[in-house]
Amino acid sequence: MTRYPTRRLLVVVAVLGAFLGAFLVVGIVWPDTGDTRPIDPAPPDQVSVTRGPVAAAPEIDVLRSWDLRRARVYSRGDVASLRALYVDGARAADADARMLREYTRRGLRLEGMRMQILAVEVLARRPGLWRLRVTDRLVGAVAIGPSVHNRLPRDQASTNVVTLVRSSSWAQWRVASVR
């Protein structure tokens, strides 16, 4: 009697084949240039900040600090530390953790990951809560793994409304939502 593979096995093989195909395409389309220097975020004088009567721009410093912590977590492949950057239950944390798990599952880590902040508009600013409209893009990321060293393509700029919160028990700001 001949045994045929189950549908589940066929689905697993198809999914693995798709991931392998995508992985190979990335290696062919975006070959390693040998230049792994990160691209710095836009200098503060090139970032557009729109807001009411507040004169300083601490929002940009907070965003850059948060982005640097996230980049360090990605380079280590540390999903638990990534989740700690977000408020418990934040849907953005789930999506970000899924992406990081996909990289680590394939044996990859991201180095040089930077968010280039292009514009920030303060929508709400209260003690312990900031809501910002942020335009930024990912630059300088390199996927590194066994026999893999590929610069990710420069991201297109995107605009999101980011809500940051901080309580007296947290030393740093956390992301509550990204829309």
Q: Are residues 41 and 102 in the same domain?
A: yes
Q: Are residues 63 and 116 in the same domain?
A: yes
Separation CA 165–CA 173 (nearest Å): 6
Q: Please write the tens of the pLDDT for every residue from 98-144.
A: 999 999 999 999 999 999 999 999 999 999 999 999 999 999 999 99
Q: Are residues 67 and 106 in the same domain?
A: yes
User: Does residue 112 come out as left (phi exceeding 0), alpha (psi in the -120 to 50 range) or beta?
Assistant: left
N-to-C CA span, the chain: 55
Expressed as residue numbers, the domain containing 10 is 1-30
User: What pLDDT was estimated at residue 118?
Assistant: 92
Q: Are residues 40 and 24 in the same domain?
A: no
Residue 43 in this model has a pLDDT that exceeds 90: no
CB 103 within 8 A of CB 143: yes
Q: How many domains does the chain have?
A: 2
Residue 169 in this model has a pLDDT that exceeds 60: yes
Q: Are residues 16 and 76 in the same domain?
A: no
User: What pLDDT was estimated at residue 49?
Assistant: 53
For the ranges 55-69, 73-87, 103-117, which has the lowest average pLDDT?
Answer: 55-69
Q: Are residues 7 and 52 in the same domain?
A: no
